[in-house]
Structure 1
């Protein structure tokens, strides 16, 4: 078991030419981690006397500045989690931040250059490289891709996406067993034997995602997406199987509806996005509070799916994406505050091992056959499942002689063959039941005869009187 708090990182998005940078500073310390200070000058319109804070300082494991490359982000954030998943632990990496702050670029990557690949494709490359290198175990890998849009779940790998409207597709539903384990119906699990197959499934899912243009972002993701890699491994000849999963989560961006000025379908989407992120924040707050008995996981689909990742059996890492221009300072401060609460949550990751019943049955059958072979070597007799007719006749004769012999020292010896011993016990049991039945019948006859004689005596007595 590995106990640790959720690891939090921050990444600052480069500003465009039209954006004006806010006032902030980064401080790197190898021992205490990185810290981010955001300065918010007081607005003179509020008067000279007010109580608004001017400085906000937040601590992270590490902060990636505007110059940080995708490979550095992967090496620092995703690679340690991927190594734990390969060892048999569950892992989760999720990005959180406002719309347009670079979540999808960080998690999935950009399409223009190969070096812009994000955490998911780089993780797939790393995982499959390690699987090919390790010849000591037999691995199987599957992937799934869940989209949560307007609080409804959809399978992004469903081949009917191209030909059907979203409303016509089967919805992914949540089932919970007696052990409070979550099961997702209508979410396919696609086998991916190599990196190429896994990347093809990733690209298929990405093309089916709900994306729209908003005032905050030209290609804003309008849904939460969870790409999951499932890995099982076992050593040859071993009955122990290790099963682990890695959730790679791209959350939809939080945004102020009044600030974006959207309406219609985009307004509906924004409301659902903000509501689900609000429920996520409620879960985070509840987990960070000590002695809290109830955690509201069931309030939304996303928190239900990520239950293990938040305060459960998982090694979880969060990356807060920030857009530190003047217009988005408030949202960036809100994102950092959320990350600080996340950092208080402790997870207990355990090694996910189970015994394969099919291998146990095969092993027991093999042991039974080996014991039979040893028995043949010791006794010199080839035994079958059932006793032969000739053996049954011999046993019947032995039992008959044993029962007819009046010598109390006499024994019934059939050898060290459990088949013969069981047959003799069954035979004696049947004989005992038969004798007891005969005795009961004889007693009944005697009672009837005695009653008949009593009646006859009474009749004679009355005749004589």
Structure 2
């Protein structure tokens, strides 16, 4: 489980308890955050990679060198000074930048995926949020890296390969129940659009539903009108990806014949739950293709393309401002709200996320300045620290069912009290009413008869080791003692005494008369037993009857 980035605690993937099973006797999820932090939080800086785009036939390569080391790689770009005019030029000639790894012009798509996207996908399956975004100038290979090319199957980018890897892992893991959903957001000219909305057949981008940003009191971002589409397998997810790509805003520019004129965020939502476990894990993986930065004076665009370029450069400028603010240690305010893109990527930049950046570089001699600018941006991003937290919570369905059950029990108690008092309750119950309700519930005939049966069985049992188990309820214990006391004090008159007292000793008395007298005495004895039993019941229910009389008087 996501070992390239972190080492998950033992048992954290299969239990809602701490790595030792329990901390004392308190479940792990109920512990304070500071006590859960060692097992559920990962702190690390954003990992930054660089990828060099292959040069075209008519392009002239700039002067650069790549130094691959074990822990990191470095890229050195040389810009010769221009001394043609004879003026003194003190401009730097050499620029050196460090990256986690640099992929040269011959790097294949599968190698890029295994090094960059696979570790983040593994962490997303384990319950951590992840983000992969590509940054670079127009025509430097961002879309090819993220989405891929359409000519060959081997040219698939990070998004289709990530989908294939995730669903392959889900099929192998039979210990959990997984649910996957995808969303596709496009930010064009600072307006968000849902590229996967099935209710709209859009011929234009403006026909798609607009997505708006909403923020809750805990400063969590929610995207209104952004649909979540269920994807149960790789084929369904890829079809949704292709549907969204067909709706993207693409135009031809001097630097790129098919330039993406918007920022696109493809998000994979994963939920996992073990059968029988009360906890559920949620994670989301953002795969971001940013629009390319470009110098308007250099590209010479005008009209509609010029307006698009202004919005693109402005949003990238706000992104850079957020990066600079996060890199400053004593900065209290981070300007996330300046643009829609920085608001959506709030967690990805300095928040609860494992983030990776790919800097795409075009080392054509004409684009050296833009490549240096991209490398500088990447160095600032590498200073940002994120705190990724395991997104684990109690299953909302269990909580919802528990709430429904408690509400049903409360309503049943209210209905029972209404039946006794004859009044419909609209306010909270008083302490006296709660006490009355408790006694009414306990001293119902059903419960009393059940106790009577237990006591009689106990008295009739001749086994010396037999016991009378009525639990720890003091009301039941007191009732049993009262019952036994009344039964013990009940007058006992044997048949012989009755006969000797009421039947005369005259020898001439017939047997028929004696039998008739005996029958009458037995009926009298049974009547007395019933009267004593009724008196004992009245004594037991004295408290209940007192309250009932009080309520009847109030009525």
Above 0.5 in TM-score? yes
Q: Paired residue for 1:453?
A: none
Contact 1:10 1:62 in 2 (8 A): yes
Asked if 1:244 is matched to 2:244, the reply is no
In structure 2, C-alpha distance between the alignment counterparts of 1:161 and 1:217, rounded to whole Å: 30
In the alignment, the residues of structure 2 paired with residue 238 and residue 164 of structure 1 have an alpha-carbon distance, to the nearest angstrom, of: 46
- What is the TM-score when the length of structure 1 is the normalising length? 0.80
Q: 1:415 to 1:356 in 2, by over 3 A?
A: farther
Structure 2 SS opposite 1:172: strand
TM-fit CA distance, 1:45? 3.6
The 3-state SS of whatever aligns with 2:80 is coil
TM-superposed CA distance for 1:44, in Å, is 1.3
**For residue 332 of structure 2, what is the aligned residue in structure 1?**
293
| 2:151 maps to which of 112, 118, 121 | 112
- Kindly provide the CA deviation profile for residues 274-315 of structure 1, in whole angstroms up to 9, marking residues without a partner as x: 000000000000000011000000000000000000000000
Distance in 2, matches of 1:190 and 1:49, equals: 61
| 1:336 corresponds to 2:375 | yes
Counterpart residue number, 2:60: 20
Which residue does 1:167 correspond to in 2?
206
Structure 1 residue 320: Cα displacement: 0.1
Among 41, 56, 69, the alignment partner of 1:29 is 69
How far apart are the structure 1 equivalents of 2:175 and 2:103?
37
Q: Are 1:72 and 2:124 an aligned pair?
A: no
What runs of 5+ residues in structure 2 fail to find an aligned partner? Answer: 1-40, 406-439, 450-475, 482-539
Q: Structure 1 residues 160, 44: closer, same or farther in 2, change over 3 A?
A: farther
C-alpha RMSD over aligned residues: 2.7
Aligned residue runs from structure 1 range 23-422, under 5 A: 23-31=63-71, 33-45=72-84, 47-159=86-198, 162-360=201-399, 390=445, 413-414=478-479
In the alignment, what sits opposite 2:456? none
Post-superposition Cα deviations, 1:166-210, rounded to whole Å, max 9, x if no partner, equal: 223321000100111111011100000000000000000001100
Q: Secondary structure at the match of 1:282?
A: helix
Q: Is 1:6 aligned to residue 23 of structure 2?
A: no
Residues 286, 295 of structure 1: 8 Å contact kept: yes
Residues 197 and 209 of structure 2 are in contact (CA less than 8 Å); yes or no, is this contact kept in structure 1?
no
Are the aligned partners of 2:205 and 2:247 in contact in 1 as well (CA < 8 Å)? no
Listed as ranges, the matches of 1:422-461 within 5 Å are 427-429=545-547
In 1: Cα distance, 2:296 partner to 2:285 partner: 33
Work out the CA distance in 1 between the residues paired with 2:550 and 2:201. 77
* Cross-structure match for 1:370: none
How big is the shift at 1:18?
1.1
The higher-RCO structure (CA 8 Å, 6+ apart) is: 1
Aligned-residue offset at 1:362? 5.6
1:160 and 1:169 in contact (8 A); partners too: no
| 1:24/1:37 contact within 8 Å kept | yes
Decide whether the 8 Å contact of 1:13 with 1:323 is kept in 2: yes
Pair 413,101 (structure 1): closer, same or farther in 2 beyond 3 Å: same
Give the CA deviation at 1:392.
9.5
Task: Give TM-score scaled by structure 2 length.
Answer: 0.68
What count of residue pairs does the alignment treat as equivalent?
Answer: 397
Distance 1:390 1:39, change over 3 A: closer
Is the contact made by 2:65 and 2:75 (CA closer than 8 Å) also made in structure 1? yes
8 Å contact kept, 2:83–2:89: no
Between the aligned partners of 1:129 and 1:15, the Cα distance in structure 2 is: 35
- Contact 1:320/1:335 (CA < 8 Å) preserved in 2? yes
Aligned residue in 2 for 1:382: none
The alignment partner of 1:44 has SS state of coil
Deviations 1:116-146 (A, max 9, x none): 0000000000000000000000000000000
| In structure 2, C-alpha distance between the alignment counterparts of 1:286 and 1:14, rounded to whole Å | 34
Distance 2:84 2:376 in 1: 26
Structure 1 SS opposite 2:128:
coil
- Any idea what SS the aligned residue of 2:163 has? helix
